[in-house]
Amino acid sequence: MNTSVSRKTKVCLRPSPWDILVAALVLALAAALALFFLSRAAGSTEGDLVCTVSQNGRILEEITLTAGSPDQEKRYGDYVVEINHGHIRIKSAPCVGQDCVHTGWIHRSGQSVVCLPGRFVVTLSSPAPADPPFDIVVK
Ligand SMILES: [Zn+2]
């Protein structure tokens, strides 16, 4: 009784020229994507940012932060916002928990400091309105 499996079926493990071409294409695409996102990321940290200061949903001020922006402190009622080398923070606040003060410095688009008790928000955003706050949309 012969139960041995036929050994004639050989799996070809050597890549064909097509496989190499596809692999090269995938690698090139990955490199292009990586460069795209890296350059975008670099742009969002070093480019101009818009700092929006708002309270109760009302915009108090919009400050454009550039590389040459002067360091300054701005007072909004009981809140003091400090700007230093493109970084921004709530320096002092009247709230009890001081969570917003403890949040510390923000410097990237999309970051924000929120004081819930006072409904006081400092948000950093990219000045380009077409720039979505997400990288990839999966449908
Ligand atoms: Zn607070």
Half-sphere exposure of 85 (CA within 13 A, CB side): 1
The whole-model pTM stands at 0.59
- Name residue 79's amino acid: Y
| Contact present, 120 and 47 (Cβ < 8 Å) | no
The mean predicted confidence, pLDDT, of the chain is 85
Q: How far is the CA of 90 from the centre of ligand 1 (A)?
A: 8
pLDDT of residue 139: 76
Q: How far is the CA of 11 from the centre of ligand 1 (A)?
A: 66
Q: How far is the CA of 19 from the centre of ligand 1 (A)?
A: 58
The 10s digit of each residue's pLDDT in 49-66 is: 899 999 999 999 999 988
Write out the residues surrounding ion ligand 1, Cβ under 5 A: 93, 95, 100, 115
Environment class of 60 (CB within 10 Å of its CB; exposed 0-12, middle 13-18, buried 19+): middle
Q: How far is the CA of 36 from the centre of ligand 1 (A)?
A: 37
